[in-house]
Structure 1
Amino acid sequence: MLKKQKTEFSLYGVPLGMFDAEICNICHEKFFDEKASEEIDVVAKQKGLWGLEAETTIGQAGDSLIVRIHKPLAEFLKLKKGGKVRIRPEDKSHVLVEI
């Protein structure tokens, strides 16, 4: 059974606000209609969160491989050249980078 109500939506850990949604009483999954999705997109763009996900290429520096991070994502994460991060595999197809 679905229940209509306003619910909070976050993107990349940043709250975007309360939006109309249908919420499953059993699993609590949220379903946003087209109007709510468009409102979410507008707020995400206003907050600079739109387009942070991007495909990148693996490069090489000496004997090491490097992962290039595009500028909008680097700014969002406050990454600076020479800064330190911790990287570890989650499984064969996922990597976790801790800042």
Structure 2
Amino acid sequence: MPKITYIEHNGTEHVIDVATGLTVMEGAVRNLVPGIDADCGGACACATCHVYVDPAWADKTGSREAMEDSMLDFAEEVQETSRLSCQIKVSDELDGLVVRMPQNQG
């Protein structure tokens, strides 16, 4: 299983094994990682699973689709590497992925 490192705004790290086929958001929610609220359950209908993808991983996680881009309009402190974690599907290629959570969600 790919390991994903979730870093809370305060710097606390959570290294989690996440099954391929799940999303980065599902990995966080199933492992009770603080900072990813996921209010819509992964339907890309809110911005409460906003993360910053480590720049080294930006190419491997893909680009934002139009709906995701629209939902990020509701997020705070959007950056170039901002993504909704519900839209990043875990694959073997993402083993070692690092994401950081913003101070506030949605």
State the TM-score, normalized to the length of structure 1. 0.28
Report the structure, 1 or 2, having the larger helix content. Answer: 2
RCO higher in structure (CA 8 A, sep ≥6): 2
The structure in which a higher percent of residues are strand is 1
Please report the TM-score for the alignment, with normalisation by the length of structure 2. Answer: 0.27
For the pair shown, the structure with the greater C-alpha radius of gyration is 1
